[in-house]
Amino acid sequence: MTEPSVPGGADAPRRRPATSASSFTRSIFGAFARGTGLVAVALAIGIVLLQWSDASTDAAAGGQPPPAGTPVAPPGSTTTTSTAPAGPRGPAQVAVLVLNATGRNNQAKPMADRLAVVGYRTLTPGNAARRPDSMVLCRPGLDREATALAAATGLGPSATTGPLDATAAAGLQGVGDADCVVILGSR
């Protein structure tokens, strides 16, 4: 039979001596110093590489700015100007009237608020005779604005665009100051 081992005997595991608080502090400060040193070295390398990069770019460009009085275009060349068609108006330049034709109350104001957030100049919303389809109507010449406005409404492909002429404006309240009218249909 074997004898039980005695605590602290020859076959007992050895314990490490207790460390003092000062050795813990030394290890933290040592790690901090090593980390700070690495950051400083990385920063120095980065600065050297940026300076080298800038110097090589200057050398590639000849290292000097062009002399004063150097013409921008070669002599004898001519410049031509062309009249490009005017781009679409920005949202702030388009007055939009939103009309509720859904048959439900309070549908035009949230849409007018949504368009105002996007930047459109919105007029006081109103109501129109009930209709199934949503429409975006703009004055003649504002076709691109109508497309952009239809996209801003989020009504999707179900909304149709068209001209806001005298026939379309008949029977709609408040259309006089509007460049475009959004009519919210029941679908």
Q: What is the pLDDT of residue 154?
A: 87
**Given pLDDT bands bounded at 50, 70 and 90, which one contains residue 64?**
low
**Given pLDDT bands bounded at 50, 70 and 90, which one contains residue 8?**
low
Q: What is the pLDDT of residue 94?
A: 92
**Given pLDDT bands bounded at 50, 70 and 90, which one contains residue 167?**
confident
Residues 6+ apart with CB under 8 A from 113: 122
Q: How many CB atoms lie within 10 A of CB 122?
A: 22
pLDDT > 60? residue 55 = no
Quick check: 161 and 138 in contact, CB under 8 A? yes
pLDDT, average across residues 119-145: 91
Q: What is the pLDDT of residue 159?
A: 83
Residue 127 CA: distances (Å) to CA of 2, 39, 150, 151, 162 = 102, 66, 19, 22, 19
Q: How many CB atoms lie within 10 A of CB 174?
A: 16
Q: What is the mean pLDDT of the chain?
A: 78
Strands 121-122 and 135-138: unpaired
Q: What is the pLDDT of residue 25?
A: 65
d(CA 186, CA 134): 7
Q: What is the pLDDT of residue 88?
A: 77
